[in-house]
């Protein structure tokens, strides 16, 4: 398997009158684990399908390893895709599912066997090779779907919400497996999800999409700590960032939005603290989420799990200015005001 | 309360049950009993004698029955595969997402509603007659007219064609089957590099086998029961070349009044159909593929 770059230049997609993607530019470096994340309908799956060749772009070019593949057949792009539904051929055994692509390409039988065995070894599927998909659990089916992709030894792996059909614990497990796989194979991977935990934990770089446009690209921590706009700030992080309207006195009373993450809202005893009323306390064990009201605005604070707090208590809050994000009237991040 | 609801349930079912009793169960039992008798239509039933297996033994020596059986088997072996292949082909074409595809689907289904009727058989007879539409077209093109209904081979061809024309119901079922195959599988196959033919052969066809199996059984049963076509178009001729078993049963009962013998023939036909169906079910485990175990949902 080689490590390949993927480059998108002005890629647009329109379905009839509906514009799904508008002029997307993106360069993915060889060996990167890129996660496309965004709300439903943001165009992330369409972007993946364009790279796979399952859709043709309305405009723009797609390059893989420097080769223009915009109009190349999906099977000739050096990509393998793992579908949300797994898309396993139900009438074929696990081994046949994994071997299908190689058989179609008339690879020698020995090579097919060797590749299937190797992939099965990586994913611990050896004992399941003769089973039909209907005799597998959801997690096993997902592993077979990944195995089928590995067997093809692609330059780029494409994952379309691969874990969304699994229950929470299995999802966590598979997330670790996919991360391990990336470390082991080193192949370029592009992964679509709407789950920000998957995005944060798996990605070497996250691409946040909204309304068919890229909102921001960066490492998970860059996006978390330096969101480019209100959308990214609000989308990443759970619970989401608190937003409060404010005026910047140093900037001629400019109206701005101040953003602060729940973990940066602290209680204080000082009289200078912002007065707030506790509406509800959610206790999660290790931490507690306090839903507070400051004036007419809701704010969530992430506090110690055993904090003595109850609904209708009045508290004082301290927000460290160093952790505040400021957004202008258009919602774009401002450099921290002095 | 339970008793009451059971009664009202039966009451709702009663029109159907009554119809089933009068028009299916009674003839079913009566024909079995009559097949062991020498009952003739013009005599009172009380005059009929029980004659054991004589009717069935007579069948073995009846050359007309032999001929009719052979013709029926030829008809079934010709029409069932041809009709299934034709219906699948049309369903495949109508499965493409095209503008106005709904209108095409309706248009292609129409012959099935009309196709089995006597009226269409009459039209068919006109098309294939010596001076019929087809021959007129032949003459116009300068070709010699063909005796469609007078030559045994052509006559069989004509009634086979009439049956093929009624492909609609099988087509609709195939269409539903085709639409039940997830598009993801086709996309996965495209990424795997499969050609259109390979996708059809390796993905579509295997996943369609339950539907093919169902259609096969239905078509076999219907083909064995075909009556209207040969009755109206060829009358079973020429030289009994289209003398299908249902036609023979009809003529034995209502032309020669040999109801006992006709009943025995009916039962022979019933056993034949049952045999073919049983064979099909037996073979199904080798070629019919079910994506899910019985009762298993699409849980993952």
For chain A, give the number of residues: 338
Distances in whole angstroms, Cα of residue A178 to Cα of each of A101, A150, B161, B166: 22, 12, 58, 53
Q: Give domain status of residue A40, yes or no.
A: yes
**B226, B282 in Cβ contact below 8 A?**
no
Q: Give domain status of residue B9, yes or no.
A: no
The H or E element that residue A133 is part of is none
Looking at the predicted structure, is the pLDDT value of residue A1 above 80? no
- B193's tokens: 């590099």
Q: Which residue of B has its CA nearest to A90?
A: B291
Q: Give domain status of residue B145, yes or no.
A: yes
Q: Give domain status of residue B207, yes or no.
A: yes
Among B82-96, B113-127, B244-258, which is the least confidently predicted range? B113-127
The Cα diameter of chain A in Å comes to 78
Q: Give domain status of residue B218, yes or no.
A: yes
For chain B, give the number of residues: 300
- Helix (H, G, I), strand (E, B), or coil: what is residue A130? coil
Q: Which of A235, A267, A287 is a domain's end point?
A: A235
Q: Count residue pairs from A and B with Cβ separation < 8 A.
A: 70
Q: Give domain status of residue B271, yes or no.
A: yes
CA angle B239, B243, B246 (to 5 degrees): 165
Instruction: State whether A191 and A252 are in the same domain.
Output: no
Distances in whole angstroms, Cα of residue A30 to Cα of each of A66, A154, B84, B120, B179: 11, 13, 51, 68, 39
Instruction: State whether A160 and A253 are in the same domain.
Output: no
pLDDT, tens digit, for every residue of A120-168? 988 888 899 999 999 998 889 989 999 999 998 899 999 999 888 888 8
Q: Give domain status of residue B147, yes or no.
A: yes
Return d(Cα A50, Cα A62) in angstroms, integer. 8
Contacting B with CB below 8 Å, chain A residues are 52-54, 73-76, 79-81, 83, 85-87, 89-91, 100-101, 104-105, 134, 137-138, 141, 148, 152, 165-166
The domain total for chain A is 2
Q: Give domain status of residue B7, yes or no.
A: no
Give pLDDT, residue B279. Answer: 93
Give pLDDT, residue A222. Answer: 93
Q: Give domain status of residue A52, yes or no.
A: yes
Q: Give domain status of residue A312, yes or no.
A: yes
- B207 in contact with A, Cβ within 8 Å: yes
Average pLDDT over residues A263-292: 90
pLDDT, tens digit, for every residue of A17-63? 999 999 899 999 999 999 999 998 899 999 999 999 999 999 999 99
Chain B residues with CB under 8 Å of A101 CB are 191-193
**A300, A289 in Cβ contact below 8 A?**
yes
Range of the domain at B156: 19-287
Would you list the DSSP string of A234-255? HHSSSSPPEEEEEEEGGGTTEE
Instruction: State whether A196 and A300 are in the same domain.
Output: no
The phi and psi torsions of B290 (rounded to 5 degrees) equal -105, 125
What CATH number should be reported for the domain holding residue A213? 3.40.50.300
The domain total for chain B is 1
pLDDT, tens digit, for every residue of B59-70? 899 999 999 999
Give pLDDT, residue B211. Answer: 94
Range of the domain at A297: 242-334
- B107 in contact with A, Cβ within 8 Å: no
Instruction: State whether A255 and A230 are in the same domain.
Output: no
Q: Give domain status of residue A195, yes or no.
A: yes
Instruction: State whether A57 and A168 are in the same domain.
Output: yes
Q: Which of A191, A206, A235 is a domain's end point?
A: A235
Instruction: State whether A248 and A214 are in the same domain.
Output: no
Q: Give domain status of residue A327, yes or no.
A: yes
Give pLDDT, residue B40. Answer: 87
Return d(Cα A140, Cα A147) in angstroms, integer. 10
Confidence class of residue B294 from pLDDT cuts 50, 70 and 90? very low
A79 forms bridges with which residues in the sheet?
Answer: A156
Return d(Cα A90, Cα A94) in angstroms, integer. 9
pLDDT, mean over chain A:
90
In percent, the amount of chain B with pLDDT more than 70 equals 95
**A168, A198 in Cβ contact below 8 A?**
no
Q: Which of A215, A235, A255 is a domain's end point?
A: A235
Q: Do A75 and B192 touch (CB under 8 A)?
A: yes
pLDDT, tens digit, for every residue of B262-290? 999 999 999 999 999 999 999 998 888 88
Instruction: State whether A109 and A253 are in the same domain.
Output: no
Q: Give domain status of residue B6, yes or no.
A: no
* Strands of the A254-260 sheet, one edge to the other: A242-248, A254-260, A325-327, A333-334
Return d(Cα A279, Cα A300) in angstroms, integer. 10
HEC readout, B49-98: CECCCHHHHHHHHCHHHHHHHHHHHHHHHHHHHHHHHHHHHHHHHHCCCC
Looking at the predicted structure, is the pLDDT value of residue B116 above 70? no
What CATH number should be reported for the domain holding residue A262? 2.40.50.140
Average pLDDT over residues A213-229: 94
Give pLDDT, residue B115. Answer: 60
Instruction: State whether A228 and A294 are in the same domain.
Output: no
- B192 in contact with A, Cβ within 8 Å: yes
Give pLDDT, residue A2. Answer: 62
Q: Which residue of A has its CA nearest to B184?
A: A87
Cis peptide before B238 (omega within 30 of 0): yes
Better pLDDT: B49 or A261: A261
Among A64-78, B160-174, B240-254, which is the least confidently predicted range? B160-174
Which pTM was predicted? 0.82
The H or E element that residue A161 is part of is none
Distances in whole angstroms, Cα of residue B283 to Cα of each of A235, B105, B280: 57, 32, 5
CA atoms within 13 A on the CB side of A230: 13
Q: B13 Cβ partners below 8 Å, 6+ apart?
A: none
User: Nearest Cβ partner of B185 from A87, A138, A165?
Assistant: A87
């Amino acid at each position: 398997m080689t490590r390949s770059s993927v480059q998108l230049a002005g890629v647009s997609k329109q379905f009839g009158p509906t514009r799904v993607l508008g002029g997307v530019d993106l360069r993915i470096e060889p060996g990167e684990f890129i996660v496309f994340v965004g709300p439903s309908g943001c165009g992330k799956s369409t972007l993946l399908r364009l790279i796979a060749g399952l859709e043709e772009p309305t405009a723009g070019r797609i390059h893989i390893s420097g080769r223009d593949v915009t109009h190349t057949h999906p099977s000739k792009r050096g990509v393998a895709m793992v579908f949300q539904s797994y898309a396993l051929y139900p009438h074929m055994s696990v081994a046949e599912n994994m071997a299908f692509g190689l058989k179609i390409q008339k690879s020698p039988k020995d090579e097919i066997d060797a590749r299937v065995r190797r992939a099965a070894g990586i994913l611990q599927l050896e004992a399941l090779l003769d089973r039909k998909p209907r005799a597998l659990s959801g997690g096993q089916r997902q592993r077979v779907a990944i195995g089928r992709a590995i067997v093809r030894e692609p330059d780029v792996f494409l994952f379309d919400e691969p874990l969304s059909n699994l229950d929470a614990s299995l999802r966590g497990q598979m997330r670790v497996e996919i991360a391990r796989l990336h470390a082991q194979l080193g192949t370029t991977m592009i992964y679509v999800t709407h789950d920000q935990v998957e995005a944060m934990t798996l990605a070497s770089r996250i691409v946040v999409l909204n309304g068919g446009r890229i909102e921001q690209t960066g490492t998970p921590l860059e996006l978390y700590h330096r969101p480019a706009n209100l959308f990214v700030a609000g989308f990443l992080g759970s619970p989401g960032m608190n937003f409060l309207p404010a005026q910047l006195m140093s900037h001629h009373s400019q109206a701005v939005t101040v953003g602060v993450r729940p973990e940066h809202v602290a209680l204080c005893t000082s009289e200078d603290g912002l007065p707030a009323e506790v509406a509800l306390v959610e206790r999660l064990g290790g931490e507690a989420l306090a839903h507070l009201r400051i004036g007419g605005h809701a704010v969530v604070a992430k506090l110690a799990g055993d904090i003595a707090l109850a609904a209708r208590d009045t508290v004082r809050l301290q927000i460290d200015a160093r952790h505040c994000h400021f957004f202008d009237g258009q919602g774009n991040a401002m450099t921290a005001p002095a | 309360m339970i008793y009451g609801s059971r009664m009202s349930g039966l009451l709702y079912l009663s029109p159907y049950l009554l119809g089933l009793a009068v028009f299916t169960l009674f003839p079913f039992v009566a024909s079995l009993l009559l097949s062991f008798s020498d009952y003739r239509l013009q005599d009172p039933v009380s005059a009929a004698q029980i004659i054991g297996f004589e009717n069935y033994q007579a069948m073995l020596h009846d050359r007309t029955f032999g001929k009719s059986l052979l013709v029926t088997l030829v008809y079934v072996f010709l029409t069932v595969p041809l009709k299934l292949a034709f219906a699948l082909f049309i369903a495949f074409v109508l499965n493409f997402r095209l503008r106005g595809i709904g209108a095409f689907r309706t248009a292609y289904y129409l012959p099935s509603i009309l196709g089995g009727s006597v009226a269409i058989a009459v039209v068919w007879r006109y098309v294939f007659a010596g001076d019929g539409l087809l021959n007129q077209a032949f003459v116009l093109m300068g070709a010699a007219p063909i005796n469609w209904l007078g030559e045994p081979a052509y006559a069989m061809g004509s009634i086979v064609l009439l049956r093929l024309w009624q492909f609609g119901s099988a087509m609709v079922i195939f269409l539903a089957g085709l639409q039940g195959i997830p598009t993801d599988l086709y996309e996965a196959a495209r990424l795997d590099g499969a050609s259109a033919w390979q996708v059809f052969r390796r993905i579509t066809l295997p996943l369609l086998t339950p539907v093919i199996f169902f259609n096969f059984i239905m078509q076999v049963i219907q083909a064995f029961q075909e009556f209207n076509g040969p009755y109206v178009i060829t009358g079973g001729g020429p030289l009994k070349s289209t003398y299908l078993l249902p036609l023979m049963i009809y003529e034995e009962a209502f032309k020669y009044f040999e109801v006992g013998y006709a009943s025995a023939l009916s039962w022979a036909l019933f056993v034949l159909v049952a045999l073919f169906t049983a064979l099909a079910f037996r073979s199904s485990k080798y070629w019919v593929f079910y994506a899910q175990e019985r009762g298993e949902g699409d849980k993952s």
